[in-house]
């Protein structure tokens, strides 16, 4: 397979790096951007992931405005943070009326404009605006987007056509976008966004994957769903292929990678494919980002092995049982193994005579990779299409009781707004937390960024519930108090013994503290240290882990555990 | 010509289906105001704080009504420039009283008579 080299790859003006969490979207996007800038191009790199790590990569504070990077002439970087976008949008609506409308009215507006719908609209508008901005277009040779993990990146890329179609069919009343009448500017913008995304001469989807089954399947899903809405120019980057296996652990990894690649979905095989070999170092800092795509790599020297006697997941589960927790979340960066840890926790709870409901809030639904026939475990996921349909049906049924069919159509129109999806997902989340058929509910969440947005909307809805006159389901009333009750709830933070996942967990830790959500335990997952490998590349990676495991030990105040890296973990860990 | 206006709290959509709960009153109001759009001698308009703050700011009587507590005063019903109700939505009977219109009970979709009034 050809090694990925931006100079010798056909690249378009707009590049979208997308894929499952943890596959290296940010690394490959950043390395591409630096490589192109170093060759004299003008490059814009923007993250649309609410939990962006670009500020760590470039070791500088970033905002939603392009910032030039001191040591990379020609490179500009921005983080499109939905919460900032929402705050700016809110201010643009409210600002002109400060001092004109009474403060109580301003507060009423501010509160309504803090919902998840506004957050989505604002960040989406920011994205669509940037994508269609002719000044940005002319200023840069390449505009590179580092997207959120698949589930949410798909939604962002599908929204221009969704809103465009909605505005085609509806032109009266109010919506989250504002009054529908007079939306011509917005409609023109969405249309242009759709045209840009669908033009193969302008836009390429860079599907990043690990040489590993779950991320290949997810890349395939993204490829197909985006091709279906017209984004057809796609390339595949396989990140982290192991070369030169020398001992048992490295041979196991090598075989697993080669098997999974051989069984790659047929439609992915048709795409142009490139690989980035596994490097013995964490790709952080400009030096490493410049190095990672070079064909010449530094020589490795063998290291003495280090003993690993850290506590494992059993320590955490025993504490969860002892303190009789009812609601357990696994949270963390994409690709850290939240799903496998959630499954492991569920299995270990069942072994201690608990019945467990295992659910995921991640639209990418990695739980579907495993099946169980254990009667003590029930499994569900939030099927976005299904919960939307359920919500629409419920509202329409209620409307049909009192309204005539013309007016029911009017409700149906509001229900087709892409906003409604957010509400439906949120209600489904509340129902999962409220379940009481099992002793414990274990919830595998979406990657950090979108999980935080879900928790944010939990807080803003809690406020809205206070003043609503409609009937609020009990599950929604109880949601926030439950999540804030440490006697019922525990959020296990899952991370990897590497720079970026630990930094992201530290930010998650602060966010959870601010939201007063109950959390104690940290789990360091997929540790290479415990395998006692002698393969020079893997050994070098294992050595790098110690610093980060010790860091977690300190941050968690000794409430931590380390799980060792497992070959073929989907088969081993996800089967019950 | 009767003029009826509804000044509502900030909201995302006119039916309220995008909030944390579905408000039956809002469905009824949406239906009634939609019906009044077809009536020649009645002008019926709805304004909400997040979509139409400009209308609020141009109406001194509304500004003064919401000055101390917008949350509990909204929605405000105005008939021919006079505030007739605050705090809750008008009922169908009240709307009849304000406008002189009679609102016939809704026909059920998919019921025996459909929309033709055959029953």
Residue with structure tokens 């020079």? A536
Query: What pLDDT, on a 0 to 100 scale, did the predictor assign at position A279?
Result: 92
Contact A423 B63 (CB under 8 A): no
Report the distance separating Cα B22 and Cα A468, nearest Å: 9
Choose among A101, A174, A471: nearest Cβ to B56. Answer: A101
Residues of chain A short of pLDDT 70, as ranges, are 171-183, 305, 370-371, 402-404, 406-407, 466-470, 567-576
Tens-digit pLDDT profile for residues B7-47? 998 876 666 666 656 677 777 888 888 888 888 889 999 99
Residues of chain B with Cβ-Cβ distance to A176 below 8 Å are 12-13, 18
Q: Which domain holds residue B67?
A: 2-99
In a domain, B112, yes or no: no
How many Cβ pairs within 8 Å bridge chains A and B?
Answer: 164
Report the distance separating Cα B111 and Cα A39, nearest Å: 71
Residues of chain A with Cβ-Cβ distance to B12 below 8 Å are 112, 115, 117-118, 174-176, 419
Q: Do domains A6-292 and A313-383+425-574 have the same CATH topology?
A: yes
Half-sphere exposure of A286 (CA within 13 A, CB side): 13
Pair B96, B103: CB distance under 8 Å: yes
Report the distance separating Cα A240 and Cα A282, nearest Å: 12
Residues of chain A with Cβ-Cβ distance to B69 below 8 Å are 104
In a domain, B119, yes or no: no
Residues of chain A with Cβ-Cβ distance to B34 below 8 Å are 406-407, 410
Contact A417 B108 (CB under 8 A): no
**Residue A361 Cα, gap to closest chain B Cα (Å):** 18
Tens-digit pLDDT profile for residues B80-99? 999 999 999 999 899 999 98
Q: What is the DSSP string of A528-568?
A: SGGGT---HHHHHHHHHHHHHHHHHHHHTTT-EEEEE--TT
pLDDT band at B107 (very low <50, low <70, confident <90, very high): low
Nearest CA in chain A to B47: A174
Residues of chain B with Cβ-Cβ distance to A430 below 8 Å are none
In a domain, B106, yes or no: no
Does residue B113 register a pLDDT over 70? Answer: no
Report the distance separating Cα A445 and Cα A458, nearest Å: 14
Strands ordered across the beta sheet of A75-79: A67-68, A75-79, A43-47, A142-146, A14-18, A203-209, A234-241, A272-277
Choose among A101, A414, A469: nearest Cβ to B53. Answer: A101
Q: Within an 8 Å CB–CB cutoff, is residue B30 touching chain A?
A: yes
CA distances from A337 to A207, A366, A521 (A): 20, 10, 15
Nearest CA in chain B to A474: B21
> What is the gyration radius of the CA atoms in chain A, in angstroms?
24
Q: What is the architecture, at CATH level 2, of domain A6-292?
A: 3-Layer(aba) Sandwich (3.40)
Asked if the peptide bond before residue B75 counts as cis, ω within 30 degrees of 0, the response is yes
**Residue A82 Cα, gap to closest chain B Cα (Å):** 18
Choose among B17, B63, B106: nearest Cβ to A101. Answer: B63
Contact B12 A117 (CB under 8 A): yes
Tens-digit pLDDT profile for residues A319-371? 999 999 999 999 998 889 898 899 999 999 999 999 999 998 887 777 777 66
Report the distance separating Cα A413 and Cα A535, nearest Å: 61
Contact B50 A473 (CB under 8 A): no
Looking at residue B94, which CATH number applies to its domain?
A: 3.40.30.10
> β-strand A142-146 against A14-18: which pairing, if any?
parallel
Nearest CA in chain B to A397: B109
For chain B, the straight-line distance linking the first and the last C-alpha, in angstroms and rounded, comes to: 33
Determine what percent of chain B is predicted with pLDDT higher than 70: 77
Query: What pLDDT, on a 0 to 100 scale, did the predictor assign at position A468?
Result: 63
In this prediction, residues B61-73 reach a mean pLDDT of: 90
Q: Within an 8 Å CB–CB cutoff, is residue B71 touching chain A?
A: yes
Q: Does the structural domain A313-383+425-574 have CATH classification 3.40.50.300?
A: yes
Q: Within an 8 Å CB–CB cutoff, is residue A175 touching chain B?
A: yes
**Residue B1 Cα, gap to closest chain A Cα (Å):** 23
Q: Any idea where the domains of chain A sit in the sequence?
A: 6-292, 313-383+425-574
Contact A109 B109 (CB under 8 A): no
The secondary structure of chain B in percent helix, strand, coil, rounded to multiples of 5, reads 30, 20, 50
* Nearest one of A360, A376, A385 to A437, comparing CA atoms: A376
Contact A414 B17 (CB under 8 A): yes
Burial A162-200 (b: 16+ CB within 10 A, else e): bbbebbeebeebbbbbbebeebeebbebbbbbbebbbbe
Choose among A174, A406, A464: nearest Cβ to B13. Answer: A174
- Tell me how many domains chain B contains: 1
The dihedrals phi and psi of A102, each to the nearest 5 degrees, come to -60, 160
User: Which helix or strand (DSSP H or E) is residue A85 part of?
Assistant: helix A82-94
Choose among B20, B34, B115: nearest Cβ to A468. Answer: B20
Selected residues 94-123 of chain A with any CB under 8 Å from a CB in chain B: 94, 96-97, 100-102, 104-105, 107-109, 111-113, 115, 117-118
Query: What pLDDT, on a 0 to 100 scale, did the predictor assign at position A323?
Result: 95
Pair A176, B13: CB distance under 8 Å: yes
Contact B74 A414 (CB under 8 A): no
Query: Would the CA dihedral through B50, B55, B58, B63 be positive or negative?
Result: negative
In a domain, B81, yes or no: yes
Contact B56 A415 (CB under 8 A): no
Query: What pLDDT, on a 0 to 100 scale, did the predictor assign at position A152?
Result: 76
Pair A104, B69: CB distance under 8 Å: yes
Site from B8, B9, B21, B89 to mutate, A interface, most A CB atoms within 10 angstroms: B21
Question: What interface predicted TM-score (ipTM) does this complex get?
Answer: 0.81
Record the pTM.
0.82
Q: Within an 8 Å CB–CB cutoff, is residue B45 touching chain A?
A: no
Contact B67 A470 (CB under 8 A): no
Pair A562, A310: CB distance under 8 Å: yes
Q: What is the DSSP string of A219-263?
A: HHHHHHHHHHTT---EEEEEEEE--S--SHHHHHHHHHHHHHHHT
In a domain, B82, yes or no: yes
In a domain, B28, yes or no: yes
Site from A395, A403, A425 to mutate, B interface, most B CB atoms within 10 angstroms: A403
**Residue B67 Cα, gap to closest chain A Cα (Å):** 5
* Nearest one of A314, A285, A300 to A534, comparing CA atoms: A300
Query: What pLDDT, on a 0 to 100 scale, did the predictor assign at position B111?
Result: 39
Contact B57 A97 (CB under 8 A): yes
Residues of chain A with Cβ-Cβ distance to B51 below 8 Å are 174, 178-179
Residues of chain A with Cβ-Cβ distance to B117 below 8 Å are none
Query: What pLDDT, on a 0 to 100 scale, did the predictor assign at position A571?
Result: 60
Half-sphere exposure of A298 (CA within 13 A, CB side): 11
């Amino acid at each position: 397979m050809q090694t990925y080299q931006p100079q010798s790859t056909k690249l378009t003006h707009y590049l979208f790096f997308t894929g499952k969490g943890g596959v290296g979207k940010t690394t490959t996007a950043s390395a591409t951007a630096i490589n192109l800038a170093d060759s004299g191009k003008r490059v814009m790199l923007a993250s649309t992931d609410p939990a962006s790590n670009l500020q760590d990569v470039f070791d500088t504070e970033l905002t939603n405005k392009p910032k030039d990077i001191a040591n990379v002439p020609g490179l500009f970087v921005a983080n499109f943070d939905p919460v900032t976008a929402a705050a700016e949008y809110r201010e643009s609506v409210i600002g002109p009326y400060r001092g004109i409308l009474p403060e109580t009215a301003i507060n009423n507006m501010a509160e309504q404009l803090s919902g998840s719908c506004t957050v989505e609209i604002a960040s989406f508008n920011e994205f669509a605006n940037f994508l269609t901005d002719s000044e940005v277009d002319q200023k840069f040779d390449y505009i590179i987007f580092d997207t959120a993990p698949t589930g949410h990146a798909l939604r962002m890329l599908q929204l221009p056509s969704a809103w465009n179609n909605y505005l085609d069919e509806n032109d009266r009343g109010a919506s989250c976008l504002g009054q529908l009448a007079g939306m011509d500017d917005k409609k023109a913008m969405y249309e242009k966004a759709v045209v840009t995304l669908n033009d193969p001469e302008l836009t390429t989807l860079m599907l990043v994957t690990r040489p590993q089954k779950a991320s290949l399947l997810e890349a395939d899903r993204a490829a197909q769903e985006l091709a279906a809405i017209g984004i057809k120019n796609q390339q595949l980057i396989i990140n982290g292929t192991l070369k030169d296996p020398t001992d048992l652990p490295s041979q196991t990894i090598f075989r697993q990678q080669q098997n999974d690649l051989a069984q790659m979905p047929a439609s992915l095989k048709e795409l142009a494919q490139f690989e980035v070999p596994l490097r013995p170092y964490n790709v952080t800092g400009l030096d490493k980002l410049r190095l990672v795509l070079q064909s010449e790599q530094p020589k490795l020297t063998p290291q003495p092995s280090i003993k690993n006697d850290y506590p494992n997941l059993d320590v955490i589960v025993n504490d969860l049982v002892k303190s009789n927790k009812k609601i357990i979340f696994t949270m963390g960066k994409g690709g850290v193994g939240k799903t496998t840890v959630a499954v492991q926790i569920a299995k270990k709870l069942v072994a201690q005579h608990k019945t467990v409901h295992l659910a995921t809030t991640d639209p990418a639904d990695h739980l579907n990779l495993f099946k169980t026939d254990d009667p003590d475990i029930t499994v569900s996921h939030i099927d976005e299409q299904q919960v939307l349909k359920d919500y629409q049906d419920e509202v329409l049924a209620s409307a049909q009781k009192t309204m005539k069919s013309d007016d029911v159509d009017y409700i149906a129109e509001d229900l087709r707004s892409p906003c409604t999806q957010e509400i439906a997902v949120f209600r489904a989340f509340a129902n999962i937390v409220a379940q009481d058929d099992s002793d414990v509910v274990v919830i595998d969440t979406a990657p950090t960024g979108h999980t935080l947005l879900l928790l944010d909307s939990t807080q803003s809805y809690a406020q809205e519930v206070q003043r609503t006159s409609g009937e609020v389901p009990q599950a929604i009333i109880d949601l926030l108090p439950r999540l804030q009750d440490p006697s019922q709830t525990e959020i296990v933070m899952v991370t990897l013994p590497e720079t970026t996942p630990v930094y992201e967990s530290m930010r998650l830790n602060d966010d959870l503290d601010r939201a007063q959500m109950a959390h104690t335990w940290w789990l360091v997952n997929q540790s290479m240290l415990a395998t006692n490998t002698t393969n020079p590349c893997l050994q070098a990676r294992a050595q790098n882990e110690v610093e980060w495991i010790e860091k977690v030990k300190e941050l968690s105040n000794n409430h931590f555990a380390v799980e060792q890296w497992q070959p073929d973990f989907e088969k081993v860990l996800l089967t019950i | 010509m009767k003029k009826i206006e509804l000044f509502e709290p900030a909201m995302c959509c006119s039916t309220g289906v995008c909030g944390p709960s579905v408000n039956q009153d809002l469905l009824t109001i949406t239906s009634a105001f939609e019906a009044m759009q077809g009536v020649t001698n009645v002008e019926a308009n709805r304004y909400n704080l997040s979509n139409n703050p400009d209308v609020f700011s141009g109406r001194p009587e509304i500004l003064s009504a919401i000055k101390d507590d917008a949350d509990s005063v909204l929605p405000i019903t105005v008939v021919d420039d006079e505030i007739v109700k605050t705090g809750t939505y008008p009922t169908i009977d009240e709307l009849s009283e304000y406008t002189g219109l009679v609102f016939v009970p809704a026909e059920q979709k998919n019921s025996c008579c459909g929309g033709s009034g055959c029953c």
